[in-house]
Structure 1
Amino acid sequence: MLLKLRALPFFAGLLALLAIVIMLRLGFWQLARAEQKQLRTQQLEQRLALQPLSLQDINRQSGDVADFPVQIIGTLDTNHILLWDNRVVNGQVGYEVLVPMTTDYGTVLVNLGWLKAPVRRDQLPELTLPKHRLTLDGKVVVPGHNPISREMTESGWPKRIQQPERHYIESLLQTELLPYLVQVDDTQQFGYLNNWRPVVMPAEKHVAYAVQWFGLALACLIITLVAIAKQRKKYGKSVSP
């Protein structure tokens, strides 16, 4: 029985050590994310200061092309409109309207902006888009991929999608797309809202979270050491002659 009592502080300390290690790892992860966000913000500022490039210029770039300002000229494929599902703005669920645009330098997916979803899920918004040749200014966006997201099987167009995954959209369109999309600047010309947020959480926020995790780790360490000291003192007295 005494052996079991003495083992309790050991196991409690082991669990506390594990928790401290996890909290420290989360803190350092937040610091790494802060550094990534800082670099992204610097890149964003540098590239947005440039004059708009053409799609031909973008296609000639080596490496990451995200955030470059671009001007595209072409025709929207209004027969194949994609609705990026579950996009929330100010607490309202809606869609971002993605449309293939045929240009002299390839077919590129353009984001025309966000609109509120109808009340009923079985209803789709009514969309009226221009069919003539357009000149649009925007920003190059390279979407990420969420392996957890699963697409729904829907017939007809417009078609809802869960994420702008290029290969999946190419299979729907039976058309090869450029490996990025263009976020249109002036979405109001189509009656939509510009919901482009290149940096959702600033670096300072990640640093603040890191400080919180390190603070929790320190507090856990102090509490554990105090608890172990009290337990040893208590059990030490219980076996004293």
Structure 2
Amino acid sequence: MTWLGFWQLDRAEQKQQRAKQIEHRQQQRYSSLSELLRLDSDIRDFPLQVTGRLDQERPLLWDNRIYEGQVGYEVLAVLMTSEGNLLVNLGWTPAPKYRSALPDVELPDGLLTLQGVVTQPQSNPMIRENETLNRQWPRRIQQPDLEKLESMLSVSLLPFALQVSDTSAFGYSNNWKPVVMPAQKHYGYAVQWFGLALACMVIFVVALYKKKKGKVDEA
């Protein structure tokens, strides 16, 4: 329990550093794809402006995404640019009443200029399947695993994604949270773990004292 408390403190420190990085990078101007690709450091949270055309025929629906307590999907699509194919998140849309139904997705045609924030999708090892058995489009996926999406779409993707800022332009809601759990919650959990560790120690000491006292009384 003590180890878990220190682990939570470490996670809180990481979240604080991430929050500072987000605040600093959000104050910078929008970078282009060519500028971003020249960077060697962590590129998360950089503002990005990119121009290209969306793959209208093959939109993706990221399953089980919650927004304001409601289950839905985040609409993903591939933006074809002169620098490569970029996965973009266009925003959240509610799920239909029945699981067998999928929401209607209409992607804009023509040349688009999108602004947003750079993200790097992380694969969840607990999720073994990334797509459902249906072969229709839009296709439901369980997580934006770039490697698996490349195989599914038969295209090469850039090693990051774009979270579009103005999702309302496409009729969707912005469900993006760069930090899901703030540092304050980790500190709260750390206090709980340390409190449990202290309680266990007190119980142990009291039980040991009673056991010893019992032996003395018997003697």
**What interval of TM-score do these two structures reach, taking the shorter chain for normalisation?**
over 0.9
Deviation at 1:63, TM superposition (A): 2.2
| TM-score using structure 2 length | 0.97
Unpaired runs of 5+ residues, structure 1, are: 1-22
Tell me, in whole angstroms, the C-alpha distance in 2 between the residues paired with 1:35 and 1:80: 40
CA deviations over 1:20-44 (Å, ceiling 9, x no partner) = xxx1011011011001101101111
Partner amino acid, structure 2, of 1:100: V
Runs of 4+ in 1 over 6 A off after TM superposition: none
Out of 84, 88, 95, the position equivalent to 1:117 is: 95
Partner amino acid, structure 2, of 1:206: H
Partner amino acid, structure 2, of 1:88: I
Residue 69 of structure 1 aligns with which residue? 47
CA deviations over 1:2-27 (Å, ceiling 9, x no partner) = xxxxxxxxxxxxxxxxxxxxx10110
Tell me, in whole angstroms, the C-alpha distance in 2 between the residues paired with 1:25 and 1:161: 36
Tell me, in whole angstroms, the C-alpha distance in 2 between the residues paired with 1:110 and 1:196: 12
Q: Which of these two proteins has the greater Rg computed from alpha carbons?
A: 1
Partner amino acid, structure 1, of 2:108: P
Tell me, in whole angstroms, the C-alpha distance in 2 between the residues paired with 1:100 and 1:94: 20
| TM-score using structure 1 length | 0.88
C-alpha RMSD over aligned residues: 0.9
Percentage of matched positions with identical amino acids: 52
Aligned residues: 217
Deviation at 1:138, TM superposition (A): 0.3
Unpaired runs of 5+ residues, structure 2, are: none
1:50 aligns with 2:37: no
Residue 12 of structure 1 aligns with which residue? none
Tell me, in whole angstroms, the C-alpha distance in 2 between the residues paired with 1:80 and 1:128: 10
Tell me, in whole angstroms, the C-alpha distance in 1 between the residues paired with 2:73 and 2:17: 30
Deviation at 1:154, TM superposition (A): 2.5
Tell me, in whole angstroms, the C-alpha distance in 2 between the residues paired with 1:164 and 1:153: 17
1:196 aligns with 2:199: no
Out of 140, 159, 178, the position equivalent to 2:158 is: 178
1:24 aligns with 2:14: no
Tell me, in whole angstroms, the C-alpha distance in 1 between the residues paired with 2:192 and 2:16: 19
Tell me which protein shows more helix as a share of its residues: 1
Tell me, in whole angstroms, the C-alpha distance in 2 between the residues paired with 1:175 and 1:129: 19
Residue 18 of structure 1 aligns with which residue? none
1:35 aligns with 2:13: yes
Tell me, in whole angstroms, the C-alpha distance in 1 between the residues paired with 2:60 and 2:38: 27
Out of 118, 139, 162, the position equivalent to 2:117 is: 139
Residue 230 of structure 1 aligns with which residue? 210
Residue 201 of structure 2 aligns with which residue? 221
